[in-house]
Chains A and B, each alone.
Chain A
Amino acid sequence: MNLRSSVDIITEWDIVAARQLGRNEAKEVGFGTVDQARITTAISELARNIYLYAGKGKIEIRQITDGNLRGLLVIASDKGPGIVDVRKVMEDGYTTSGGLGAGLPGVRRLMDDFKIETVLGEGTTISASKLLR
């Protein structure tokens, strides 16, 4: 199974559209209310990062399977400036979160798996997935 769908992030409203798409897919996979809220919060964070730092980009949602488990993969990609110091933005209490528990460390906590690829001047792609257990 490999269903995919995506939302372009250009305005702040698109963040809501990305959340909606994520929630629908999460419900379809069978995630409970708490996990739905976690996944949409992660999507919010990723979409907001695109909107604030890259200007525009895309949130793609895919339903995935891993063995017997079903799950959801969120891919956030942009052609923005890239991240200068990945280690720093992944550090707790160091990001824009200011102790509010958000930012990329937050996304990593909300999801099971987290990957980040970034090239200065070319853009960033972040993939985060969560399996239904």
Chain B
Amino acid sequence: MPQEFKRQYKEILEQYTQRQTELNLYEGQNFSRQLIQKNISPEEVISIHKASLEELMPDLPNDVWHSFDLLIEVMIRYGLALKEHQTLIKKQENFRMEMELASNVQQTLLKTKIPVMNDLDIGMISVPAKEMNGDYTHFLNDDTTIGIAVADVIGKGIPAALCMSMIKYGMDSLNGAETEPIVVLDVINRIVEKSVSDSMFISMFYGTYDTSNSKFTYASAGHEPPLFYSAKSNEFSELQAKGLLLGVIPNVKYEQHIISLDKDDFIVMMTDGVTECRSKAGFIDQNTVMDIIESVRDQSAQDMVEFVFHKLEELQEFEQRDDFTLVIFKKK
């Protein structure tokens, strides 16, 4: 038994038995902080109490001394549970650090550079709900064409993140920006179908923008339809394209569509983390999202996506439930 603790405790106990003041009790409580810091277990505390009492009131009846031995026996397991608890907390901290490392690795792995194009202003934001991101954005470009992939694994966290890495390698195997969207989806679908369990689904949108004729060609595998904003009519419309989620069956026919962009028109691509934002009152509906976007349509594409993210964050009272990705292509 640590003698120093016993001496201190005995003093506090002596004072308290004489006066019973709140100050004595307060000292007792502060003392317990020291005990915890020094890993003194409950059974040792009782043993300290007993030893102090033996010196202060040696004439107590034997029954009282015996009762402490029972109490010590009872407290042994509390001491064990406490120690186990402490190791588990340490373990949890290790897990957290490992997750942080994994998240850094993922960020490096999935890093994509926003290309600079003559004709097109591009903005992108992707914020994971937990450490690992289950959303994926990838740009492919040459001098005249830019390809954009936006994908979302149904689910979050580590499994989603692992799945994303696979899409990345699938995308890397493609030849370049000019590959047609339906070909891209077909290739990725075959990879995903072969390598992912039946319970894992991925939605993906792929589009290419050709700066030589301002045409945007796109296809979708069950992904959230992008919004198209026409500057001339000041109206939003959805870019619908039928196609099954990735990984369900090997041979899927995807639809491909083309749309022309005029000056200041823009396309908003997103994951369901944007459309399924919820406030206390329920889902934030699409019109609200459109209004938010429209209110900043004169700003740069990057400022737009950041504004929309912060605005929606605010509406959700800063509780982000799902991975959030937003990409805007705006014709200069």
Contact = CB atoms under 8 A, between A and B. Distances in A.
Q: Is chain B a partner of chain A in the same complex?
A: yes
B155 to A, nearest CB: 26
Interface in A19-47: 32-34, 37-38, 40-41
Interface stretch (A54-62, A66-74, A99-107): A99-107
Given A92-B87, A92-B91, A99-B85, A34 B43 contact: yes
* Among A34, A92, A93, A101: residue with most chain B CB under 10 A: A34
A37 B70 CA distance: 9
A88 interface: no
B79 to A, nearest CB: 8
Contacts of B78: 101
Please indicate which of the listed interface residues B1, B44, B73, B80 has the most CB atoms of chain A within 10 Å of its own CB: B80
B84 A93 contact: yes
Is chain A's binding surface mostly helix, strand, loop or mixed? helix
A31 to B, nearest CB: 12
A99 B84 contact: yes
B47 interface: yes
Interface in B69-113: 69, 72-73, 76-85, 87-88, 91
A73 to B, nearest CB: 20
Given A92-B87, A93-B88, A34 B72 contact: yes
A92 B72 contact: no
Nearest to A100: B81
Given A92-B88, A93-B88, A110 B44 contact: no
A101 B85 CA distance: 8
Contact of A102 (B43, B69, B80): B80
Contacts of B1: 32, 34
A34 B47 contact: yes
B84 A37 contact: no
Given A34-B43, A92-B84, A101-B84, A41 B91 contact: no
A97 B76 contact: no
Contact of A32 (B47, B76, B88): B47
A37 B80 contact: no
B72 A106 contact: no
Contacts of B79: 101
Interface in B199-224: none
A41 B84 contact: no
Nearest to B73: A37
Contacts of B87: 92
A75 to B, nearest CB: 21
Contact of B80 (A32, A40, A93, A109): A109
Contacts of A32: 1, 47
Nearest to B68: A33
A33 B80 contact: no
12 contacts: A32-B1, A32-B47, A33-B50, A34-B47, A34-B72, A41-B77, A41-B80, A100-B81, A102-B77, A106-B84, A109-B83, A110-B80
